[in-house]
Amino acid sequence: MIGTDPEDSGVGEIDEPEQPYRLADQIGFKLRLANQKHLEIFNRLMPDVTPTQFAILAKLVEVGPLSQNRLGRLVGMDAATTKGVVDRLRRKGFVRSAASETDLRRLEISLTEAGQTFADRAIEIAADVSRQTLASLTQRDVDRLLKLLDKL
């Protein structure tokens, strides 16, 4: 159908008829399916930690000891989730927490020796998880996908 603007000369863009809602065409559905595929690969290759536990370990490797609050913000977790994840990692012997030397109200989280060893190996495995998740894409597709996801 030609645009209905009264000043439209009859030449212009054609309005597309509204398409019915199809679940399989929705971004949330597609993201969920992609995430399920990624998690299946992650759980198969790295059964000893959850993705959220891995995120904490990887960030500690990347930046070193951090306050629990800052650590949570850097990995995109709320305070309650961060506390639970850190507690579970502490029970596994991968992290330790201590009062900050500069602010006794803050807990500083750091890797233990066992945590550092585990995290170093886990990071290698995580790279393989990413490779397997993206195996059906070209490098150009991967670059574009990551840029688009950053925009969301």
Q: Is the pTM of this model over 0.85?
A: no
> What's the pLDDT tens digit per position in 38-61?
999 999 999 999 999 999 999 999
Q: Among 82, 75, 78, which Cα is nearest to 107's? A: 82
Q: Residue ranges per domain, the chain? A: 45-151
> What's the pLDDT tens digit per position in 60-71?
999 999 999 999
> What's the pLDDT tens digit per position in 85-134?
999 999 999 999 998 788 777 889 999 999 999 999 999 999 999 999 99
Assign domain 45-151 to its CATH architecture: Orthogonal Bundle (1.10)
Q: Any alpha helices (H) in 96-138, and if so which ranges?
A: 113-133
**The predicted structure's pLDDT at residue 9:** 53
Token pair listed for 101: 């030397």
Can you give the C-alpha Rg of the chain in angstroms? 23
| pLDDT at residue 13 is higher than 50 | yes
Average pLDDT, the chain: 90
